[in-house]
Structure 1
């Protein structure tokens, strides 16, 4: 499992106010990029996208992660809900690079290069993969349990 460096954790925590203010714009831009892949777009509930519910939910989850990246135990129930939803919708490890490739540029698109510097995006990349590794491992366990049930 990958870990974010202490410097990256500090950067992620420092960007939490910008995420609080612009999180829905970031997740909306991220989904627009992600849904250029029709196969991925088909995995999502269009009504939740069109209503803005899914971008709001994801923005809240990213903000909670930014605020608690150094206290991941605080996120246990939220991670469990996310894992259950991902298993229900068929999310697999191979989908995570697609999300990273949509999320990181969306952060820069919305916040601009003055705030979303290369260092900020690198920190968020580390943070993303740290959480992705946790989710992927938990989802693989859940898929195994379901197969053995």
Structure 2
């Protein structure tokens, strides 16, 4: 079951959209710096996409889209499905989500400084986990389907 975000949380997250538009790439670059202190996590990512800046730009755009559409998440159905599929392709598991939260939220504060109040970070923490629950659910279904498909292939070769 996904979390229901309060109107206040949604309003705070939505109000950060202009800052995210301006500083989103710097936030995601900082987040990846924090995240990649763990070599095992870093190995899950396409190094070329990191070096070119493509991955930080894509993530910044996704975070901005989430902030802008926090009241109409149905607008994000296709991007969420693409993200979940990519996560399954790269082996993302539920235990990776706390690592990202622990890198993203401090990165927001690092880049936005005093504008990243405790209230803003709390709202983004709630919003992050609401989206993480959606992704984890979609990814679980995709992993289960892939396993089922593999078992069917094995059974059909016997």
| TM-score, shorter chain, exceeding 0.5 | yes
Root-mean-square deviation over aligned CA pairs: 0.5
Which one has a bigger Cα radius of gyration? 2
> Does 2:144 align with 1:144?
yes
> Does 2:83 align with 1:72?
no
- The Cα offsets for residues 70-120 of structure 1, whole Å up to 9 and x where unpaired, read as 1000001100100110000000000000000000000000000x2100000
Q: Compute the TM-score of the two structures, normalised by the length of structure 1.
A: 0.98
How many residues align structurally? 148
- Aligned equivalents of 1:90, 1:6: Cα separation in 2: 34
Higher RCO (CA < 8 A, seq sep 6+): 1
Stretches of 4+ aligned residues off by more than 3 angstroms = none
- Equivalences for 1:25-36 in 2 at 5 Å? 25-36=26-37
Q: Compute the TM-score of the two structures, normalised by the length of structure 2.
A: 0.93
Instruction: Give structure 1 stretches of 5+ with no counterpart.
Output: none
**Which 10-residue stretch deviates more, 1-10 or 14-23?**
1-10
Instruction: Give structure 2 stretches of 5+ with no counterpart.
Output: 150-158
